[in-house]
Amino acid sequence: MPNPQLNQHGELQHLLALRGLPRDVLVHILDTAASFLSVSDREVKKVPIMRGKSVFNLFFESSTRTRTTFEIAAKRLSADVINLNIAASSASKGESLLDTIDNLTAMHADMFVVRHAESGAPFLISQHLNTTGRHHIHVINAGDGRHAHPTQGLLDVFTIRHHKGDFSRLQVAIVGDILHSRVARSDIHALKTLGVPDVRVVGPRTLLSPEMLQMGIRTFNDMREGLRDVDVIIMLRLQNERMNGSLLPSAQEFFRNYGLTPERLSLARPDAIVMHPGPMNRGVEIDSAVADGSQAVILSQVTYGIAIRMAVMSILAGN
């Protein structure tokens, strides 16, 4: 089946998920992002790549990092940015998602950045645009349900490449609520495509996903085994808003067994890096001594997110 994100020439038309995205497309995005890093250091932090284009930020779910860094990235590319206030929009009066999209395309939107609680919402929009002949309008998934968060996956592998250089000998542990995590899924697809030989997930049985076995991912229920000698630790937030019923005794119990403390971090390689997509819950999945410690690269991830989002938007815009 053809990849719905690529046009007939194999070029990126939408960014919906990292699953199935060819390695050369991933590497091209990472290399383009590297070239944009220096823009943030300039006195005039702008390039004219998307001058005259309109980017619509449609966040149907809350966000701090993703929404803001998409806005910064679009402005650095000289695009006009429109942040739809969802709570005050017609969506709150019962207008369907696709009717909202049709009205915004009538305002000459060039790109939609979409976050939605329903898995597949950005795909639905991209199909609607394609089947109604609006191929020039691009959709970027900014996180849909528990399905995918492709720009987070990209900025995570960008951060790993920046600190570790080569993917071919790395051991990467993703820890916590794997079951509900779109970040874990996007990270795993990107890491596997880039050739990381050992991607593992660590967490309680109730928060691991059976699909991990099909993806060739090792699973661990014990932090001491799961973290031993790894190069990268990616901590995840407990996604309470996506849990149906009680999957855990308590947040304190979770921290006792799976919280990343300095003692547990010492099981990893001495130069291991600690990552977290945010928002971070101190004392639930991560101890402050680790979150603020010398091995944490959590705030660098946020900064690299701007370059990654600039890269994705500029590639989609045809540059």
Q: Which residues make up the interface to ligand CP (CB under 6 A)?
A: 63-66, 143, 152, 277-279
Comparison of 69 and 171: residue with beta carbon closer to ligand CP: 69
Integer Cα distance of 263 and 172 in angstroms: 18
At closest approach, how far in Å is the CB of 202 from ligand CP? 20
Comparison of 111 and 129: residue with beta carbon closer to ligand CP: 111
Comparison of 65 and 218: residue with beta carbon closer to ligand CP: 65
Cis ω for the linkage preceding 204 (within 30 of 0) = no
At closest approach, how far in Å is the CB of 283 from ligand CP? 19
Nearest residue by C-beta to ligand CP? 66
Task: Give the bridge partners for 46, in sequence order.
Answer: none
> For residues 206 and 247, is the Cβ–Cβ distance under 8 A?
yes
Phi, psi torsion values for 232, nearest 5 degrees: -140, 135
- Please classify residue 290 by burial: count the beta carbons closer than 10 Å to its beta carbon, then call 0-12 exposed, 13-18 middle and 19+ buried: buried
Comparison of 60 and 171: residue with beta carbon closer to ligand CP: 60
At closest approach, how far in Å is the CB of 280 from ligand CP? 10
Comparison of 138 and 276: residue with beta carbon closer to ligand CP: 276
> For residues 248 and 288, is the Cβ–Cβ distance under 8 A?
no
Count of Cβ atoms closer than 10 Å to residue 130 Cβ:
16
Token pair of 213 as six digits: 């076995």
- Please classify residue 51 by burial: count the beta carbons closer than 10 Å to its beta carbon, then call 0-12 exposed, 13-18 middle and 19+ buried: exposed
Instruction: Name the nearest CA neighbour of 50 among 25, 72, 75.
Output: 75
8-state DSSP, 69: H
- Name the one residue in this structure whose structure tokens are 């790993």: 160
Comparison of 64 and 90: residue with beta carbon closer to ligand CP: 64
At closest approach, how far in Å is the CB of 263 from ligand CP? 27
At closest approach, how far in Å is the CB of 143 from ligand CP? 6
Phi, psi torsion values for 60, nearest 5 degrees: -85, 0
Comparison of 204 and 277: residue with beta carbon closer to ligand CP: 277
At closest approach, how far in Å is the CB of 306 from ligand CP? 13
At closest approach, how far in Å is the CB of 211 from ligand CP? 21
